[in-house]
């Protein structure tokens, strides 16, 4: 029976309350175990040797001296990770990224690894590995990489989307196009056309916990992997495929995860740790340094974009066009295409088109970063939207309200929207006290909108009623920010029991069916859907057992407020049975009481936000300070409002960092110059004001409680909102992110001239 997702209209008992999270005490006392906090008997230290070159042919690797060093138990290279990918291009790229085969494709690319008895020995061993490189010309900029004579990374990339298919390989992965209408005709109808180019630099998720894992392969071929990950099942499936194992032989347990934001959705050193353990026949722990995290995991794209918007004087946009060129790092993906799909999603334009060009460059393989690709496109679009509003003399909020998408709008990327929140967030922004607050000297206010698709995916949840009536819940979608509390609330709501009676854990991969990873803002959305489904099944069983106890038909048993009630006058003398009373008799009524759910959580419900930002620009140094910040976003239904607010605030803070100071700085040699928190400048506490939030609840009709994912959209508007605020504060338009002090000061000086 499919899950009945018709909205629960009755007032909630516990959903929407701010309960204490179940993992709170462990996390404030230092007891919570993260990736690097596990130990196994006889464990070795694993270290990875990385290419110092941006692009080089690996002519030879001599590991003999390292192997002979006392205390070294295993050395692995690509030869120990044979290509078993059988034509699966994505999987082969993953393998090559984990360990370079014939070429090192970026500064930091793994070329070999060692396992030794201690850190000192492992470090010595790395120094004894001799790699003979032939250094090749490199390219790190997406526009440069598209040029005909650019250094070529792969000889088997033939641009997709071009007919006929090119015969020459290039760095140009794919061209894609989205939109509808006739933009050329639309531009002819415009009174005003604004056409601008923009650039954004590469940023990293910057989670505080480096990647870490403990791999243990037994001589019988079974293995265990303890790892910090957003997706233990995905890690399991990928590692098993790369190492040629049956999936059931690899058990992956996700540790507490110290932040991921998309960066822990891909495997990096995990297959290498397993290969080391397999070769050494001992458990191997691999913990990345911060330097390795920056150089060799998956930051988001840098990009270059052209935007053109035409509008009539009444504020109607007649046509909009975007070309987006994103680099994907050293391996092909479709990050620009995500940008093209999201670019215009907030708006209802008659004629709209976006073209994406995806490119490979000599930088680390890009990974998802919170609403991946969308903030980049939104920066360009929202900056241009403000300039159009200015050109036609219209208030930027009114201009956006006039063009906002609504229920029934055919989105720029294809689907027709259901009930959505862009209009309401804009109206809320318009009426927010923030909009009327006075501004000081050198201060300006900006706003911008953002969109993210959201995702549902495969989900599996077990609900088990214990003999004393308390409830355990096992989920397979990792809790990255408090979802265990929300899921306990869902189960408590369905069962009608107090929140404290429900305990949620994240199960390992041998205990549950496949779960997709925590991405696409799906964690709480999909797991709560499955938790509701599983709990309803458990309730059905509880009713059946009560019926058995009472010896009446099950359809005469109703579930209410955590109790079975016998319905009708003839059963008037039967006292309701609690969960505890029913479960106490489980052994005599049919065994353990449980509910299970295995679903594809469709209908995630798209998400929109509007942000307002006040910025102050020091006219003499170009330094920008964020004075006030407000996030308004549709949550569908906020199951635990504190953690919804937390998602809004966290995304905004990351966006502020991206907008102002964060960037990968590459030298002419193609090496990353700032692989550390000293010079990769994420916002510190004193950089930020309080971040005000307003949760709107426009129910998602596809979820029983109306929930939408909330995790990602909050990072989409800040870049544009801050660019618009700076423009209003200082009278200069920054087209290049980050809007760091040297760039702002340069713009200010140019304006003076």
Partner 1 sequence: MRYESPATTKEACTLLAKEKGTAFVLAGGTDLLVKMKAGMVEPDLVVDIKRIKGMCDIKKSASGFVIGAATPNAALSENAALLKAWPGVVEAAQLIGSKQVQGRCTMAGNLCNASPAADSVPALVAAGARVVIAGPKGKRKLAVEDVPAGVGRTVLKKGEIIEAIELPAKKPKSGDAYLRFIPRSEMDIAVVSCAVNLSIDGKGVITAARVSLGAVATTVLLVKDAAKAIIGTKLDDQAKAKLAAAASAACRPIDDKRGTVEFRTEVAGVLARRAAEIAYARAGGK
Partner 2 sequence: MAVLVKTTINGDSVEYACQPDESLLDVLRNRLGLTGAKEGCGTGDCGACSVIVDGRLTCSCLVLGAEMEGRTLETIEGMADGDKLHLLQQQFIDHAALQCGICTPGFLIAAKALLEKNPDPTEEEIRFGLAGNLCRCTGYDKIVRAVQAAAKEMRGA
Q: Which is nearer to partner 2, 580 or 681 (CB)?
A: 681
- 36 interface partner picked from partner 1, partner 2, none, CB below 5 to 8 A per type: partner 2
Q: Which is nearer to partner 2, 36 or 74 (CB)?
A: 36
Residues 560-589, one symbol each (x = binds partner 2 by CB under 8 A, - = not), give: ------------------------------
Q: Which is nearer to partner 1, 143 or 687 (CB)?
A: 687
Phi, psi (rounded to 5 degrees) for 651: -65, -40
Phi, psi (rounded to 5 degrees) for 717: -75, -25
157 binds partner 1 (CB under 8 A): no
Which residue intervals of 625-673 are DSSP H helices?
A: 641-660
218 binds partner 1 (CB under 8 A): no
- Strand pairing partners for 355? 177, 323
Q: Which of 646, 653, 637, 612 is nearest to 705 (CA)?
A: 637
Q: Compute the distance between CA of residue 30 and CA of residue 36 in angstroms, rounded to an integer.
A: 13
673 binds partner 1 (CB under 8 A): yes
- Interface stretch with partner 2, choices 126-134, 253-261, 317-325, 391-399 (CB under 8 A): 253-261
Exactly one of 59, 68, 89, 120 binds partner 2 (CB under 8 A); that residue is 120
The distance of Cα 510 from the centroid of its chain, to the nearest Å, equals: 25
Q: Where would I find the beta strands (DSSP E) of 406-478?
A: 443-452, 458-465, 471-475
**Burial (Cβ within 10 Å: 0-12, 13-18, ≥19) of residue 668:** exposed
Q: Determine the length of the chain.
A: 753
Q: Compute the distance between CA of residue 108 and CA of residue 99 in angstroms, rounded to an integer.
A: 11
661 binds partner 1 (CB under 8 A): yes
Which residue intervals of 461-608 are DSSP H helices?
A: 483-495, 523-550, 579-584, 586-589
124 binds partner 1 (CB under 8 A): no
Q: Compute the distance between CA of residue 216 and CA of residue 251 in angstroms, rounded to an integer.
A: 10
Footprint of partner 1 on residues 237-296 (CB under 8 A)? 289, 291
- 312 interface partner picked from partner 2, partner 1, none, CB below 5 to 8 A per type: none
Q: Map tokens 């001589």 to a residue.
A: 219
Q: Which is nearer to partner 2, 370 or 563 (CB)?
A: 370
Which of helix, strand or coil describes residue 408?
coil
- 623 interface partner picked from partner 2, partner 1, none, CB below 5 to 8 A per type: partner 1
Tell me how far, at minimum, the Cβ of 720 lies from partner 2, in Å. 18
Which of helix, strand or coil describes residue 537?
helix
209 binds partner 2 (CB under 8 A): yes
- Interface stretch with partner 1, choices 171-179, 247-255, 345-353, 676-684 (CB under 8 A): 676-684
Phi, psi (rounded to 5 degrees) for 202: -75, 135
Exactly one of 86, 575, 678, 750 binds partner 1 (CB under 8 A); that residue is 678
- 550 interface partner picked from partner 2, partner 1, none, CB below 5 to 8 A per type: none
Tell me how far, at minimum, the Cβ of 80 lies from partner 2, in Å. 27
3-state secondary structure 142-155: HHHHHCCCCCCCCC
Kindly report the number of other CB atoms within 10 A of residue 673's CB atom: 12
C-alpha to C-alpha distances, 643 to 302, 479, 709, nearest whole angstrom: 30, 12, 12
Tell me how far, at minimum, the Cβ of 293 lies from partner 1, in Å. 14
289 binds partner 2 (CB under 8 A): yes
Footprint of partner 1 on residues 619-648 (CB under 8 A)? 620-623, 625
Residues 6+ apart with CB under 8 A from 650: 481, 714
The two beta strands, 691-696 and 563-566, are: unpaired
Exactly one of 85, 470, 625, 642 binds partner 2 (CB under 8 A); that residue is 642
Do 635 and 644 meet the contact criterion of CB atoms below 8 Å apart?
yes
665 binds partner 2 (CB under 8 A): no
Residues 6+ apart with CB under 8 A from 627: 440, 443, 614, 615, 616, 689
Q: Compute the distance between CA of residue 193 and CA of residue 319 in angstroms, rounded to an integer.
A: 9
Residues 687-706, one symbol each (x = binds partner 1 by CB under 8 A, - = not), give: x-------------------
- Interface stretch with partner 2, choices 311-319, 352-360, 684-692, 743-751 (CB under 8 A): 684-692
- Interface stretch with partner 2, choices 176-184, 316-324, 539-547, 672-680 (CB under 8 A): 672-680
Q: Compute the distance between CA of residue 426 and CA of residue 632 in angstroms, rounded to an integer.
A: 8
Tell me how far, at minimum, the Cβ of 277 lies from partner 1, in Å. 25
Q: Where would I find the beta strands (DSSP E) of 63-109?
A: 72-76, 103-104
Exactly one of 232, 262, 595, 683 binds partner 1 (CB under 8 A); that residue is 683
- 661 interface partner picked from partner 2, partner 1, none, CB below 5 to 8 A per type: partner 1
123 binds partner 1 (CB under 8 A): yes
How many Cα atoms within 13 Å fall on the side-chain side of residue 313?
1
Tell me how far, at minimum, the Cβ of 372 lies from partner 2, in Å. 16
- Interface stretch with partner 1, choices 94-102, 184-192, 706-714, 736-744 (CB under 8 A): 736-744
The per-residue b/e assignment along 561-589, b for 16 or more CB within 10 angstroms, e otherwise, is ebbbbbeeeeeeebebbbbbbbbebbeeb
Instruction: Give the pair of three-digit tokens for residue 593.
Output: 């009481």
207 binds partner 2 (CB under 8 A): yes
Exactly one of 1, 86, 167, 678 binds partner 2 (CB under 8 A); that residue is 678
Q: Which is nearer to partner 2, 178 or 643 (CB)?
A: 643
Exactly one of 482, 670, 706, 717 binds partner 2 (CB under 8 A); that residue is 482
Helix 641-660 to helix 718-730 angle (10° resolution) is: 50
149 binds partner 2 (CB under 8 A): no
Q: Which is nearer to partner 1, 355 or 660 (CB)?
A: 660
Exactly one of 3, 8, 14, 36 binds partner 2 (CB under 8 A); that residue is 36
Q: Compute the distance between CA of residue 210 and CA of residue 624 in angstroms, rounded to an integer.
A: 30
- 652 interface partner picked from partner 2, partner 1, none, CB below 5 to 8 A per type: partner 2
**Interface residue list for partner 1 (CB under 8 A):** 123, 289, 291, 620-623, 625, 660-661, 665, 673-674, 677-679, 681, 683-684, 686-687, 740-742, 745-746, 749
**Interface residue list for partner 2 (CB under 8 A):** 18, 20-21, 23-25, 27-34, 36-37, 119-120, 205-210, 256-261, 287, 289-290, 480-482, 642-643, 645-646, 649-650, 652-654, 676-678, 682-686, 688, 690-691
């Amino acid at each position: 029976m499919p899950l009945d997702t018709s909205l629960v209209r009755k007032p909630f008992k516990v959903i929407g309350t701010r309960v204490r999270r179940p993992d709170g005490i462990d996390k404030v006392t230092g007891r919570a175990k993260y990736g690097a906090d596990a130990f196994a008997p006889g464990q070795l230290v694993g270290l990875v040797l990385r290419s110092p070159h941006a692009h080089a042919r690996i002519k030879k690797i001599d590991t003999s001296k390292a192997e002979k060093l006392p205390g070294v138990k295993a050395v692995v290279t690509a030869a120990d990770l044979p290509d078993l990918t059988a034509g699966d291009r994505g999987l082969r790229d993953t393998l090559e990224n984990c360990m370079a085969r014939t070429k090192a494709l970026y500064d930091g690319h793994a070329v070999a690894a060692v396992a030794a008895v201690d850190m000192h020995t492992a470090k010595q061993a790395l120094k004894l590995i001799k790699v003979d490189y032939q250094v090749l010309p490199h390219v790190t900029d997406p526009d440069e990489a598209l040029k005909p004579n650019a250094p070529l990374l792969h000889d088997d990339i033939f641009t997709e989307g071009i007919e006929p298919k090119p015969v020459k390989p290039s760095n140009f992965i794919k061209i894609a196009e989205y939109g509808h209408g006739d933009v050329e005709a639309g531009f002819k109808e415009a009174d005003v056309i604004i056409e601008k180019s923009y650039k954004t630099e590469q940023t990293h998720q910057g989670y505080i916990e480096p990647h870490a894992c403990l791999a243990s392969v037994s001589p019988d071929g079974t293995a265990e992997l303890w790892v910090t990950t957003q997706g233990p099942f995905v890690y399991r499936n990928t590692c098993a495929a790369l190492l040629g194992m049956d999936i059931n032989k690899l058990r992956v347990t996700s540790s507490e995860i110290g932040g991921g934001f998309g960066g822990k959705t891909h495997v990096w050193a995990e297959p290498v740790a397993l290969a080391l353990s397999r070769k050494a026949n001992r458990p191997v722990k691999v913990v990345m340094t911060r330097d390795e995290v920056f150089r060799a995991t998956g930051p988001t794209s840098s990009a270059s974009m052209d935007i053109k918007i035409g509008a009539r004087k009444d504020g109607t946009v007649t046509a909009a066009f975007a070309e987006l060129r994103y680099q994907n790092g050293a391996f092909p993906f479709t990050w620009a295409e995500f940008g093209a799909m999201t670019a215009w999603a907030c708006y209802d334009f008659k004629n709209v088109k976006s073209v994406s060009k995806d490119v490979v460059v000599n930088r680390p393989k890009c990974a998802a970063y919170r609403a991946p690709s969308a903030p980049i496109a939104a920066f360009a679009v929202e900056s241009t939207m403000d300039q159009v509003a200015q050109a036609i003399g219209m208030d930027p909020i009114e201009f956006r309200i006039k063009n906002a998408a609504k229920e029934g709008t055919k989105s720029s990327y294809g689907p027709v929207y259901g009930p959505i929140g862009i209009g309401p967030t804009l109206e809320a922004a318009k009426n927010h006290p923030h909009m009327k607050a006075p501004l000081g000297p050198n201060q300006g206010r900006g706003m911008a909108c953002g969109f993210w698709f959201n995702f549902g995916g495969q989900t599996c949840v077990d609900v088990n009623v214990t003999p004393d009536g308390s409830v355990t819940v096992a989920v397979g979608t990792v809790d990255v920010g408090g979802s265990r509390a929300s899921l306990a609330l869902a189960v408590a709501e369905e069962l009608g029991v107090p929140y404290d009676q429900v305990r949620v854990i994240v199960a390992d991969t041998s205990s549950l069916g496949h779960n997709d990873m925590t991405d696409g803002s799906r964690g709480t959305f999909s797991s709560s859907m499955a938790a509701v489904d599983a709990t309803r099944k458990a309730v059905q069983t509880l009713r059946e057992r009560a019926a058995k106890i009472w010896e009446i038909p099950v359809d005469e048993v109703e579930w209410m407020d955590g109790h079975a009630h016998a319905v009708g006058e003839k059963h008037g003398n039967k006292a309701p049975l609690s969960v505890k009373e029913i479960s106490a008799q489980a052994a005599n009524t049919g065994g353990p009481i449980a509910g299970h759910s295995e679903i594809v959580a469709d209908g995630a419900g798209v998400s929109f936000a509007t942000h307002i930002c006040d910025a102050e620009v020091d006219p003499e140094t170009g330094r920008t300070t964020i004075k006030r910040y407000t996030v308004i976003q549709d949550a569908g239904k906020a199951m635990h409002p504190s953690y919804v607010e937390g998602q809004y605030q966290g995304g905004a803070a990351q966006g502020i960092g991206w907008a102002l100071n964060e960037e990968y700085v590459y030298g002419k040699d193609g090496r990353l110059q700032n692989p550390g928190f000293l010079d990769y400048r994420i916002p510190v506490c004193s950089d930020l004001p309080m971040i005000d939030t307003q949760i709107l609840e426009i129910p998602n009709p596809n979820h029983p409680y109306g929930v939408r994912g909330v995790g990602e959209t909050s990072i989409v508007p800040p870049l544009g909102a801050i660019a618009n605020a700076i423009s209003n504060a200082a009278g200069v338009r920054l087209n290049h992110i980050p809007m760091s002090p040297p760039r702002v000061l340069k713009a200010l000086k140019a304006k003076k001239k």
